[in-house]
Amino acid sequence: MIILITGITSGFGKAMAEKLTADGHTVYGTHRRDVEPMKGVHYIKADVCSDEDCQRAVQQVLDEQGRIDVFINNAGMGIGGPLEFCTLEQARLQMDTNWMGMVRCLHWVLPAMRAQKSGKIICFSSIGGLMGLPFQGLYSASKFAIEGYCEALRLEVKKLGIKVVVIEPGDFSTAFTASRNSVDSPQVHQAYPSYARSLKSIEKDETTGLKPEYLAAMISRIVSKRNPNYHYIISTLEQRLSVFLKAILPPSWFAAILGSYYHL
C-alpha cells in the first residue's frame, strides 16, 4: 500500500513509519525538522500549518505513486495551562496544528481517494477528545474538533469506498510531554493553586505510559483490515474504563471523579 503519514520525526509517527515500512508498505512521511532518516521511508519536508506545504506533500506522493491508499493524520502538539491564561495566539496555534493541519491535508487527499474509489483515512484524536481534560482544554478542544469532523466525513464518503477511522490514544511515553507548551508564571499558580499538582500528575501518567511501538503494531493491524472499526481506544484498561464511566454516569458524578483524579 501507499501510505502518507504526517509528522514522522518522533513518537507515534516515527514508530508507525518504521512498522509500516517493515510490513512492506511504501511509506511517505512529513517532517519539519531534519532528523536521521529511517531506511526505506520517503521524507517530505512540510509544515501542516501551511496550505502550500500540504498540497505539495500530497501531490508529490500522487506524482510518484499515482495513488494514496492510506492517509494517517498524526502531526500534532499540545498546549497546557488554565484556559484563562492561555493566549489567543496559543489557541490559534493549537487548532491550526491539530485540527486545521488535518483539514488541509484531507482537502487534497480526498479528491484523489474519491477518484480511485478507495482509501483509508486514519486520524489521531485522543482520550482528551472524548472528555474535556482540566488544564489541557485547548488540546481537548482540538481533538473534539477532529472527532466531529471525522464523524461527518465518515457519513459523506461511506459509499465512495473510503473508510474513516479515529484513533484515541491514552497516555504514552513519547517526546510529547517534553515538547508541551505549558503556561507557567507566578500569577497562574496563584490564581489556580491546583495547577501544579495536576500538571505533575499528567506528566507522570505520560512518562510512565505505554510505548509508541505498541500503538504502531495496532495501526499495522488496522491498516490491513478490510473493514476497520470506526474508533479504536488504545490505552491502559484504567483509561478505557474512564471512557466507559463517562458514557454511563451522570455528568456531575463523572466530573467529580475526574476532578479528584487531577487533584482539583
Give the tens place of pLDDT for each residue, 19-68.
999 999 999 999 998 888 899 999 999 999 999 999 999 999 999 999 99
At residue 177 the predicted structure's pLDDT band, cuts being 50, 70 and 90, is low
Burial class (CB in 10 A: 0-12, 13-18, 19+), 135: buried
Give the tens place of pLDDT for each residue, 210-222.
888 999 999 999 9
pTM assigned to the model: 0.92
d(C-alpha 84, C-alpha 86), whole Å: 6
pLDDT at 178 over 60: no
Using the Cα atoms of residue 17, residue 18, residue 19 and residue 25 in order, give the sign of their dihedral.
positive
User: Catalytic residue numbers?
Assistant: 139
Cell digits for 121? 483515512
Range in 37-46, 50-59, 138-147, 231-240 with the lowest mean pLDDT: 231-240
Whose CA is closest to 72, among 143, 164, 140? 164
Q: Quick one: DSSP state of residue 172?
A: B
d(C-alpha 127, C-alpha 248), whole Å: 16
How many folded domains does the chain comprise? 1
Q: What is the largest CA-CA distance in the chain?
A: 57
The number of helix segments (H) and strand segments (E) in the chain equals 11, 9
| CATH number of the CATH domain containing 158 | 3.40.50.720
What percent of the chain shows pLDDT beyond 90? 76
Q: Which domain holds residue 128?
A: 2-261
